[in-house]
Amino acid sequence: MEREGKTINTTLPELPSRSVLYNISPIGTGTADAESLTSYLTRLINAHNLNAGVFFRKIIYPYLGKETFPRDGLVPKKSSSFNNFHQGAWELVSALKELTTVSTLEGHTLLDFSTFLSNYEVSSSKYWCPHCYQETKDRKLPIFDKLLWVLDIVEICHVHNCKLICSCLSCNTEQYHLSRNGTIGYCYKCGSWLGYTKNDKTIEVSKEYLQWQQWIIENIIDLLLLNNYERDRIKKTWVNYEDNVNKFFNKIFDEVFEKYSIYKTKFFNLVRIPNRLYYNWDKGKQRIGLISLLKISYVTGIKLKKFLLMEIELDICLRQLPEFIYDNNLRYKSHKKYDIDELRKEIIEIIYDKDNPPPSLAKVARSFGYKNSRTLKTKLPNECNIIIKNYKNYMSENKKEKKKAISEAVTHLLENGVYPSQKSVERKLGKTSYFWNHSNRVLLNEICKEKGVVRKKGPHTKIEIK
């Protein structure tokens, strides 16, 4: 963001620049224990004795020049996005960098992996290790949340070999990455301590599951430890997402066939990934989720980091996934358990939420830990029908608005003699990665067709796999 230059009185010696907010150092920068951005932010807000809502309304949003924002300044349920790689994280990092003069905050989000990661890697609830909290407290160090824990596939603490948890041990309230009056380590609702004392019982996990998780975490830590040069390389390399995916899989298919006479279909059988998913990756409809990548990585022996850096001089040595994955019973993080009244109350709250766009039923179901939205619909049919209706209306309105905005951008570009490529339309709209979304791409193509513009082939053109 451009700021106006300050007038400096040249008769006085220039003072070293002062930060607007305390310049608290983030914990664990560049290490496996790097704290999450929301953890840093909570500590920063606490240091100023503020409420997170006020902090956003009075400091962050005015700084960013935002005119519209949530009424209370913050939607705790959505605060996971600050640790992710979307617009919100980017804006917050740039504001905090300037206000605190701490320059390393990107490393406390997933921003460096924005061209690579899929949209669904960060869980909306906050997960933490109660033993880590307790130990840090006993050592009288500042309590913090690790960036590692924000990833949905990370289910255990690799230091204590215990399950991460997401709700208060006393009142069972689900905790968010950021809450209005939160202090890390304490329930935002009842104020109870969220760590384990020595006598508390840890949830037992099987040895096999533990090993699988340890292996996942090892691969994720590799990413957290990447230096700036490597991070830069990843950002640039993965702009050509589909090309990379094609290159990578072609290499795997060739080698697996040569060495083991295994065809594509059999290979995906082996890694327990439906062919349909591969089809979506190949067509650029969907990015590969970390869990799929890690399964492929485990079976082929190619480390996740190598894949990201596209250092794919392969020497595949196939091995089977751990048994428990084959029995289709892959463990998911345990969600908070709701009774029916509590569930109804939460869903009605979603229906009347005017600060956020109405979510799809699938998304609502997922947020309550149901893998299938039908389960939720059998429990609360009326409420679910309202959710479905609202979402449908919203989507059709949204499509109209989007179409209008894209159409205006295209017209403007054409009038100025600029070809409406995805990049130039994105620039005009002031949005990044806008055309990663398949439906947005379809809209653009439709509009171009209507205006008689012939689409040029861009970097996202599919390459045939022989």
Residues contributing to the site for Zn ion (CB under 5 A): 129, 131-132, 157, 159-160, 168, 170-171, 173, 187, 189-190, 192
Q: Enumerate the H helices of 78-157 as residue ranges.
A: 87-100, 130-138
Cα gap 463→456, rounded to integer Å:
15
CB nearer Zn ion, residue 159 or residue 316:
159
Minimal CA–CA distance to 236: which of 309, 289, 294?
309
CB nearer Zn ion, residue 171 or residue 203:
171
CB nearer Zn ion, residue 159 or residue 453:
159
Cα gap 118→234, rounded to integer Å:
14
In the complex, least distance from residue 84 CB atom to Zn ion, rounded to whole angstroms? 23
In the complex, least distance from residue 348 CB atom to Zn ion, rounded to whole angstroms? 22
How many degrees, rounded to 5, is the angle at CA 232 between CA 227 and CA 237? 125
CB nearer Zn ion, residue 36 or residue 297:
36
The separation between the first and the last C-alpha atoms of the chain, rounded to the nearest angstrom, is: 47
Dihedral of alpha carbons 65, 443, 439, 374, sign = positive
Tokens matching residue 343: 């569930």
Cβ-proximal residues to 246 (8 Å cutoff; 6+ apart), any chain:
282, 462, 463, 465
Element (H, E) at 425: helix 422-429
CB nearer Zn ion, residue 147 or residue 288:
147
CB nearer Zn ion, residue 97 or residue 189:
189
How many degrees, rounded to 5, is the angle at CA 213 between CA 212 and CA 219? 95
Specify the 3-state DSSP secondary structure of 233: helix
In the complex, least distance from residue 200 CB atom to Zn ion, rounded to whole angstroms? 13
CB nearer Zn ion, residue 85 or residue 188:
188
Cβ-proximal residues to 459 (8 Å cutoff; 6+ apart), any chain:
239, 240, 243
In the complex, least distance from residue 149 CB atom to Zn ion, rounded to whole angstroms? 9
Cα gap 294→302, rounded to integer Å:
9
Cβ-proximal residues to 286 (8 Å cutoff; 6+ apart), any chain:
118, 277, 280, 438
Cβ-proximal residues to 365 (8 Å cutoff; 6+ apart), any chain:
371, 372, 373, 375, 376
Residue pair 85/111 in contact (Cβ under 8 Å)? The answer is yes
How many degrees, rounded to 5, is the angle at CA 73 between CA 71 and CA 75? 90
Specify the 3-state DSSP secondary structure of 156: strand
In the complex, least distance from residue 27 CB atom to Zn ion, rounded to whole angstroms? 15
Cα gap 40→275, rounded to integer Å:
41
CB nearer Zn ion, residue 171 or residue 317:
171
Cα gap 74→162, rounded to integer Å:
31
CB nearer Zn ion, residue 46 or residue 161:
161
CB nearer Zn ion, residue 94 or residue 172:
172
In the complex, least distance from residue 212 CB atom to Zn ion, rounded to whole angstroms? 18
In the complex, least distance from residue 131 CB atom to Zn ion, rounded to whole angstroms? 4
